[in-house]
A and B are shown apart, each in its own frame.
Chain A
């Protein structure tokens, strides 16, 4: 078993906060396939389309037959740890703070030998399950995990470095008025969050979810209106230095596409909340969070966006809302670029129509808040970058990968 991580004590204000460093970030283009697999928590390697040889490290040509038809495929992650070491001396600034680093060689059942991080519960010559995890440079790295679950295995320091787990962390959930707020707060609490701050806009107005949110222990309600720069800045001044995970669940949604609406009023609200709201939050909270990514057990670790799956391709019934989410999705990529050197991860949870007042006219499947909350928290625990929650989102990304143009034609063509 792993040693359970103790909740962090009070921070010593006289001690310098550890400066964020990332592990070596450079990769060849081929090796970025590992980051793509890790972003979704898949175990994928290049497989030769000609002879079937599984390749590692990532290549541009097959090491058996020279074919350049190498395709990333899900393959068996099982293997055996055939060698291990604990690296105690390194010239890298990131790893210097983490020695000894447990590293090993795993011989995969599918062929290659893989140098990897090794979970503390894996013993010499044991069978293991390899996982590809995102490291703090946002790159995919191999990690050998015990073949079976072990007690407190998520608390292994190496694994926790790749995870964005809420355990012992302080979370800001931005919108208490979103119907999903109680479920998300509850799921975060169940995952071990120490404190959950929930933003409430226009606090003079009644909030029908108030009691359900306050029923979750460790919740504190604070004023926050993402459409008001001053409100965002004020809360960031108070909370920015102790926000470890920010979950932006603020959302403005109304049905209707371009021609179904006679004006831009709803569209302005959608952009103000879904796009500019995210921008305000990122500009206010981003710098403080990026400065605290090496701050011990409750370091700043992740930023979560909940995006409509229609950010990928427009859904005309909610055409203007889709457009605002496409803008937010694009901005999230900008956030990833700007946060990259700090190691602060941006998790995008793509979700299809949610089961709430503003999607009444849509048939099922619709995503219940509980499902969304579960996927979101699991994505944090697993350290993912992209989560597709619910059947519609999964269907959307599958079609998108097959052909964005055909998907566009499918979604925009003669509606009966």
Chain B
């Protein structure tokens, strides 16, 4: 790892698009993806034929993939990617698209994630998710990710003395943020007492620790800074990214993610430290994972996550704005779009276009992704630091 990585100079990230989520939808993933894609193009004043790069993430496209979508949506890209990395998809799409644009393999890459949610599609998704989960996880109660994360939450609480109240603080703050986001599925305030009293799902996880599966889609475009400026688009620039898969495979249970391996690389590349970050978007499928990210991304030491959330205000106007759109916990988990929600919101934040959820004077955001419970832990991790570009 002694080689110096190239930066992402000259690359602009623009046109963050979110199609309002729905709990259930009669439409298909193709429909949801088309809508976010179109919304993103419209913002940039582009037509589908102007795009020569396309990256997509979706769990419910079957039997199609990115290839099928080119014909379905009438695209003729010279750069195409299908990224099946769940909650890490947004970061990974951003990294790959940025390199493609930087190298000239593509001029404008559309990165899109979307899924539909039919009655019973969650159960069907679980039953064919991965070979290891089919063989060695789901036959044990078929609790899905709830059960997996209950196990590591149990261990985390025992090792680090975290309490349900500590996790509740994360969820309650996100709900407060979500109430400012008109598109969030959760519309009612959540008190810490309501969090603690909620129906148990898989001990110690209860109802408000779990995301609500829904239909939805998210998109953004990656192009050169010159192109963004020519089109007069607010844009973000990438100052650092990391990606890691199957880190710490010998840990008997997951109490840290791949970020812990690469965090110095991330800050080194971005030439900043944790205190320079104006807002953080973590992958929040469960609050314990957000807490782990606070630790592994350097905002506090290992095991100090609970003290950290006790002492910081995680709301939009607090001293540590976190998951400002409400995150998946309060806005909903739209399948693979859950891997984009934080990134798309962060692009809005650093370009000053977040509207009601705007963090005042936000110029630098960190986004982290986490994905694919292949067996007993999330395998993919990634993070990026982006800044608002000067138009």
Could you list which residues of chain A lie within 8 angstroms of chain B, going by C-beta atoms?
23-24, 26-28, 30-31, 56-58, 63, 82-92, 94-95, 99-101, 103-105, 107, 113-117, 124-125, 135, 137, 139, 141-142
Interface flag for B165 (CB, 8 Å):
no
Partner of B146 from A84, A89, A141 at Cβ < 8 Å: A89
A89 and B202: CB pair below 8 A? yes
Q: How far is the CA of A63 from the CA of B131 in the complex (A)?
A: 15
- The reply to whether the CB of B25 lies closer than 8 angstroms to some CB of chain A is no
Which B positions have Cβ atoms within 8 angstroms of A? 122-123, 126-127, 131-132, 134-144, 146-148, 150-152, 154-155, 158, 199-205, 249, 252-253, 375-376
Please measure, in the bound complex, the distance between the C-alpha atom of A94 and the C-alpha atom of B205, giving whole angstroms: 21
Q: Is the CB of A101 within 8 A of B140?
A: yes
Q: Which of A91, A116, A117 contacts B142 (CB 8 A)?
A: A91
User: Chain A residues with Cβ under 8 A from B375's Cβ?
Assistant: 57, 115
Contact B152 A101 (CB under 8 A): no
Q: How far is the CA of A27 from the CA of B376 in the complex (A)?
A: 17
A158 vs chain B, min Cβ distance (A): 10
The chain A residue with its CB closest to the CB of B151 is A83
User: How far is A107 from B255 in the complex, measured between Cα atoms in Å?
Assistant: 14
Q: Shortest beta-carbon distance, B299 to chain A, in Å?
A: 25
Contact partner, B376, options A63, A95, A113, Cβ 8 Å: A113
Are B155's CB and A83's CB within 8 A? Answer: yes
Asked if B142 contacts A23 (CB within 8 A), the reply is yes
Q: Are B139 and A103 neighbours in the complex by a CB distance under 8 Å?
A: no
B122 and A103 contact, CB distance less than 8 A: no
A24 to B200, CA, bound (A): 23
User: In the complex, what residues of B have CB within 8 A of residue A104's CB?
Assistant: 151
Residue among B131, B132, B138, B205 making CB contact with A85, cutoff 8 Å: B205
User: What residues of B have a CB within 8 angstroms of the CB of A88 in the complex?
Assistant: 199-203
A87 neighbours in B (Cβ, 8 Å): 140-143, 146-147, 150, 202
CB-based closest 5 A-B pairs:
A92-B142, A101-B141, A85-B150, A87-B141, A57-B136
Cβ contact within 8 Å between A31 and B136 = yes
Q: How far is the CA of A26 from the CA of B124 in the complex (A)?
A: 13
Q: Are A83 and B154 in contact (CB under 8 A)?
A: yes
| A125-B157 Cα distance, complex, nearest whole Å | 13
Chain A residue numbers with a CB within 8 Å of B141 are: 87, 90, 92, 95, 99, 101, 103, 117
| Identity of the chain B residue whose Cβ is nearest the Cβ of A111 in the assembled complex | B250
Q: Quote the shortest CB–CB distance from A25 to chain B (angstroms).
A: 9
**How many Å lie between the Cα of A99 and that of B202 in the bound state?**
10
Set of chain B residues within 8 Å of A135, measured between Cβ atoms: 139
9 A-B residue pairs with Cβ-Cβ distance under 8 Å, sorted by A, are A85-B150, A85-B205, A90-B143, A91-B122, A91-B123, A103-B140, A115-B375, A115-B376, A141-B139
- State A135–B138 Cα separation when bound (angstroms): 13
Interface residue from B126, B143, B158 paired with A101 (Cβ < 8 Å) = B143
Taking a contact as CB atoms under 8 Å apart, the answer to whether B140 and A115 are in contact is: yes
Residues of A within 8 A of B376 (CB): 105, 113, 115
Give Cα A262–Cα B376 distance, bound, in whole angstroms: 64
CB of B98 to closest CB in A, whole Å: 32
Scoring B139, B155, B249 by chain A CB atoms within 10 A of each residue's CB, the highest score goes to B139
Find out whether the CB atom of A26 lies under 8 angstroms from the CB atom of B134.
yes
Q: Which residues of B contact A30 (CB under 8 A)?
A: 135
A27 smallest CB distance to B (angstroms): 5
Besides the known contacts A84-B151, A87-B143, A104-B151, 4 further A-B residue pairs in the complex with CB atoms under 8 A apart: A63-B249, A82-B155, A85-B203, A115-B376
Q: Which of B131, B142, B152 contacts A24 (CB 8 A)?
A: B142
Distance between A74 CB and nearest chain B CB, rounded to angstroms: 19
Nearest residue (CB) in A for B249 is: A63
- In Å, the complex CA distance between A60 and B200 comes to 38
Please determine whether B135 and A58 come into contact, CB atoms closer than 8 angstroms.
yes
Question: What residues on A are CB-neighbors of B127 within 8 Å?
Answer: 24, 26
Nearest A residue (CB) for B123: A91
Docked Cα-Cα span, A57 to B147, in Å, equals 17
Given the complex, which residues of B lie within 8 Å of A89, measured CB to CB?
A: 143, 146, 201-202
CA distance A117 to B139 in the complex (A): 9
Our pick among A31, A84, A90, A137 for the contact of B135 (Cβ within 8 Å) is A31
A-side contacts of B139, CB under 8 Å: 23-24, 135, 137, 139, 141
A94 to B123, CA, bound (A): 13
